[in-house]
Structure 1
Amino acid sequence: MYLADRSAPAGAKGAPDRGPARTPAVASAVLALGTVSLITDISSEMVTAVLPLYLVAGLGLSPLGFGALDGVYNGVSALVQLTGGHLADRVRNHKLIAGIGYGLSALCKPLLLLAHSLGPVGVVLALERTGKGLRTAPRDALISLSTPAGLQGRAFGVHRAMDTTGALLGPLAAFLILSVAVDGYDAVFGVSACVAVLGVVVLVLFVPGTSGPAGSARPARPAGPPVPADTAPADTAPAGPAAPAVGVREALALLRLPRLRALAGCAALLGLTTVSDAFVYLLLQRRTGIAEQWFPLLPLGTAAVFLLLAVPAGALADRIGRRTVFLAGHALLLTGYGLLLWAPGRPALPFLVLALHGMFYAATDGVLPAAVGAIVPRELRATGLALVGTGQALARFGCSLAFGAAWTFWGTGPALCAAAAGLLCSAAVAACVLRPAHPPHPPHPTQSPRGTR
């Protein structure tokens, strides 16, 4: 089923022919938020690139201990996402809540210079992830609310591409700092703090102060080819001077939307079998024997592919359907797991695994919020994004704990084999649950609606 906008037919009498209205492919708010994410990701990925090696080799953590800490690193932000999304919708100021989140993360970076054991490091990382949780849903809501429905995938792809540029530059900066600095890890943490402050400054000065549904204009749908049904807009907020107040009851009412429940459930199910990036890089290093000084460069492979394919994958999702691209991304991830398990340890193995890892993120990271934006009303956009993001992140938190325990007690091979088998089953279930509903067949031309001639 396809939807087209026929509200303003071309060639209407009495109107001058000025050509079709031009809608920017990417809103200025998306570019500004992309710049903030680029700078912030340089800061975050500088720390993320060295953190696994710092904790395992420097502080002597076991895989189980690292799995617990990695789970905290991702799980805390998941729990806070709901708070950030609901607050942004309630106060109708997404930029304010996003700015608080970016600021909190920036304040935590210098504290890593003072933390040299598992407990303090865990507390600092939990606070930093709290900031990430606060900002994620309001930021994505700003992107969604400033973009026409038919271009959501492209807009999120552009943002994720800029975000990934930071993810590409962060590990490179960490590698260069470790190469020249005496106290390499402390130097990485210090530079990361300075870059994070710059990201907050750019947010305050250049991101438009777009509010929620009462303070932002509803974007016009651009003219163009029809889009698949799963990309149809869900901007169901009634026209009027003000939107109703958003409370907990209205937020919980989102769970009554069948399509949102299905999407959130499938995202969580797939997250339960998605091994965290840090474990993928540790597995790849142990499988191929990559030297420790080259370890911070491994995320560059994932980030480079993600950067190249994020926009094309988003545009493709707008054209053929987000469900198809989303499931294809998990099939690529499953292929990467298979290579880690059974492919011979040739020099090309790291490049193939990292390429598949980046393709997975390009096909899923921006496509999922674009799909949510097509389902959730404008006045609850941040809350809906937070619901789905929280479920997925909590599932990945559980996966980190389970995979770290399986690695400790069974070894790397059985642990990854179990994750691959679980991902295969989860993808099969998601393919069935997310299957688009087919419209009823129209009656035959020679047949009446009741089936009589």
Structure 2
Amino acid sequence: MYLADRSTPQGTTGSAPDRVRGTVRAVSPTVLALGTVSLITDVSSEMVTAVLPLYLVVGLGLSPLGFGMLDGVQNGVSALVQLTGGHLADRVRNHKLIAGIGYGLSALCKPLLLVHNLGALGTALALDRTGKGLRTAPRDALISLSAPPERQGRAFGVHRAMDTTGALLGPILAFLILGVAAGGYDAVFAVSGCVAALGVLVLLLFVPGGRTAPAPASAEGAASPSREARVDLRAAFGLLRTRRLRALFACAVLLGLTTVSDAFLYLLVQRRTGIDEQLFPLLPLGTATVFLLLALPAGRLADRVGRRVVFLAGHAGLLLAYALLLWAPGTPALPWLVLVLHGVFYAATDGVLPAAVAAVVPERLRASGIALVGTGQALARFCCSLAFGAAWAAWGDGPALAGAAVGLACCAAVAGAALRPTGDPR
């Protein structure tokens, strides 16, 4: 099933009343517990994210090229580790354990942010992204395994909505701390570390977990149980032999190559609209608010009308945001329009993509499949950050953004054709 899959898979059994009752049943406690952990952790991480671009570029004097390299390295580290996290979670059959290691590593590295030099800061960011990479695939696998196939979009939508609540609260807390604390950025980084530790504690106490039993062999694999039970990197990469997952992987990479990072987008909004630097930490609030409001409706819509439609619509919203920044810099409402479209982009893509991947990979390789697509996308965004930073330094922000907009339009057209549903499931 491509992104165009509908909510009810072929071959689904059960009466209509059963399915109706299922649609009104609450999401699983696992999704709610993981959503709470993500909410708390996002408060911590977004406190740092909200002030980091301005701290680096204005406070430490980092050039756009240098910032692009640092931002790209963060995404690259997360991408490379994500595949490791997914593989380990499937290998040891304990998704909570690997996710917990990732959350813990992100919390432990926060004190390094208090060291005022680029080396220590880069190390802290790399370790934080390592933790994020380790936890992402096991966490998403836990979500997908706790929801029936026809409600994957809703489950991811609920989680992303709770996650985004943290993204909404983080910049507000950073803004308040910067206004009242004598330590300024140091105070933000210290509080961020304490909040991250709280997230780890909630994970340990409230998220169900433990070693899971191996998935039973299917009828097709009954003759070779050892092959069916195998979980290794060869089996993970072998998923790409499936046309459905290969299409998802290729499109995620293609679109990631033209997706400008959040930090760059906020810098562009600030530079092209003249927003006061003191208000800069509040810019992510616009994106987070829209994401929060639309994450669950977008997930339910994807289950109902097809994931391909919602996924591509999100990228169309991002393309429109690029266009507004390029050709309407004098519009008073420009910052709000761009941030709304940015939030629509995340609501329509962030949970829809892993839901689509979960529908086409077996349970025993669920985390590996999600990690494989996520790694490809993150590596593509790593390349985009490097290229965008270099283009900004060489030609200015306008030409760099114009190139990204043209590239996104072309890549979205190709993705739309590649994700068109076909009758052949292979």
- Offset of residue 336 of structure 1: 0.3
- Report the CA distance shift for 1:236/1:7 in structure 2 as closer, same or farther (over 3 A): farther
Partner of 1:135: 135
Asked if 1:253 corresponds to 2:254, the answer is no
- Report the CA distance shift for 1:320/1:235 in structure 2 as closer, same or farther (over 3 A): farther
Aligned residue type for 1:431 = G
Partner of 1:202: 202
Partner of 1:186: 186
CA distance in 2, matches of 1:336, 1:20: 38
Aligned residue type for 2:156 = F
Asked if the contact 2:64/2:392 (under 8 Å) is kept, the reply is: yes
Partner of 2:169: 169
Asked if the contact 1:89/1:212 (under 8 Å) is kept, the reply is: no
Asked if the contact 2:38/2:199 (under 8 Å) is kept, the reply is: yes
Asked if the contact 1:89/1:381 (under 8 Å) is kept, the reply is: yes
Asked if the contact 2:97/2:210 (under 8 Å) is kept, the reply is: no
Instruction: Spell out the pairing of 1:240-279 with structure 2 (5 A cutoff).
Output: 244-279=229-264
Instruction: Describe the SS at the equivalent of 1:295.
Output: helix
- Offset of residue 244 of structure 1: 1.2
Asked if the contact 1:213/1:379 (under 8 Å) is kept, the reply is: no
- Offset of residue 213 of structure 1: 5.6
CA distance in 1, matches of 2:177, 2:220: 50
Under a length normalisation based on structure 2, what TM-score does the superposition of the two structures give?
0.93
Partner of 1:53: 54
Asked if the contact 2:273/2:329 (under 8 Å) is kept, the reply is: no
- Report the CA distance shift for 1:237/1:155 in structure 2 as closer, same or farther (over 3 A): farther
Instruction: Describe the SS at the equivalent of 2:229.
Output: coil
Aligned residue type for 1:214 = P
Asked if the contact 2:311/2:353 (under 8 Å) is kept, the reply is: yes
- Report the CA distance shift for 1:187/1:248 in structure 2 as closer, same or farther (over 3 A): same
Partner of 1:41: 42
- Offset of residue 117 of structure 1: 1.9
- Which of 324, 335, 357 is equivalent to 1:372? 357
- Report the CA distance shift for 1:200/1:334 in structure 2 as closer, same or farther (over 3 A): same
Asked if 1:122 corresponds to 2:122, the answer is yes
Asked if the contact 1:25/1:151 (under 8 Å) is kept, the reply is: no
Aligned residue type for 2:191 = V
Asked if the contact 2:112/2:120 (under 8 Å) is kept, the reply is: no
Asked if 1:383 corresponds to 2:368, the answer is yes
- Offset of residue 247 of structure 1: 1.7
Asked if the contact 2:42/2:164 (under 8 Å) is kept, the reply is: yes
- Offset of residue 396 of structure 1: 0.3
- Offset of residue 250 of structure 1: 1.5
CA distance in 1, matches of 2:20, 2:282: 47
Asked if the contact 1:168/1:303 (under 8 Å) is kept, the reply is: yes
Under a length normalisation based on structure 1, what TM-score does the superposition of the two structures give?
0.87
CA distance in 2, matches of 1:49, 1:419: 23
- Which of 266, 286, 289 is equivalent to 1:304? 289
Partner of 2:214: 214
Partner of 2:313: 328
Aligned residue type for 1:34 = G
Asked if the contact 1:271/1:393 (under 8 Å) is kept, the reply is: yes
What runs of 5+ residues in structure 1 fail to find an aligned partner?
12-17, 218-233, 441-453
Asked if 1:418 corresponds to 2:419, the answer is no
CA distance in 1, matches of 2:175, 2:301: 34
- Offset of residue 214 of structure 1: 2.7
- Offset of residue 252 of structure 1: 2.1
CA distance in 1, matches of 2:19, 2:113: 57
Asked if the contact 1:85/1:382 (under 8 Å) is kept, the reply is: yes
- Offset of residue 124 of structure 1: 1.2
Aligned residue type for 2:113 = L
CA distance in 1, matches of 2:145, 2:244: 20
CA distance in 2, matches of 1:366, 1:6: 23
CA distance in 1, matches of 2:9, 2:340: 35
- Offset of residue 236 of structure 1: 9.4
- Offset of residue 74 of structure 1: 1.4
- Offset of residue 237 of structure 1: 8.8
- Offset of residue 25 of structure 1: 3.9
* Cα deviations by residue, 1:113-159 (Å, 9 ceiling, x for unpaired): 12x22222111111111000000000000000111000000100110
CA distance in 1, matches of 2:310, 2:16: 33
Aligned residue type for 2:159 = H
What is the aligned residue count?
417
Aligned residue type for 1:71 = G
CA distance in 2, matches of 1:19, 1:296: 45
- Report the CA distance shift for 1:438/1:255 in structure 2 as closer, same or farther (over 3 A): closer
Asked if 1:341 corresponds to 2:342, the answer is no
CA distance in 1, matches of 2:310, 2:14: 32
Partner of 1:295: 280
Asked if 1:363 corresponds to 2:364, the answer is no
* Cα deviations by residue, 1:285-335 (Å, 9 ceiling, x for unpaired): 011111111000000000000000000000000001101100010000000
- Offset of residue 395 of structure 1: 0.3
* Cα deviations by residue, 1:65-86 (Å, 9 ceiling, x for unpaired): 0000011121101000010000
- Report the CA distance shift for 1:37/1:235 in structure 2 as closer, same or farther (over 3 A): farther
* Cα deviations by residue, 1:356-389 (Å, 9 ceiling, x for unpaired): 0000000000000000001111100000000000
Instruction: Describe the SS at the equivalent of 1:61.
Output: coil
Partner of 1:108: 109
Instruction: Describe the SS at the equivalent of 1:301.
Output: helix
Asked if the contact 2:321/2:338 (under 8 Å) is kept, the reply is: yes
Instruction: Describe the SS at the equivalent of 1:345.
Output: coil
Aligned residue type for 2:48 = V
Q: CA RMSD in A?
A: 2.6
Instruction: Describe the SS at the equivalent of 1:246.
Output: coil
Aligned residue type for 2:258 = T
- Report the CA distance shift for 1:187/1:411 in structure 2 as closer, same or farther (over 3 A): same
- Offset of residue 6 of structure 1: 5.8
What runs of 5+ residues in structure 2 fail to find an aligned partner?
none
- Report the CA distance shift for 1:290/1:91 in structure 2 as closer, same or farther (over 3 A): same
Calculate percent identity across the aligned residue pairs: 74
CA distance in 2, matches of 1:257, 1:235: 19
Asked if 1:406 corresponds to 2:391, the answer is yes
Aligned residue type for 1:435 = R
- Report the CA distance shift for 1:320/1:20 in structure 2 as closer, same or farther (over 3 A): closer
Asked if the contact 1:49/1:296 (under 8 Å) is kept, the reply is: yes
- Report the CA distance shift for 1:150/1:48 in structure 2 as closer, same or farther (over 3 A): same
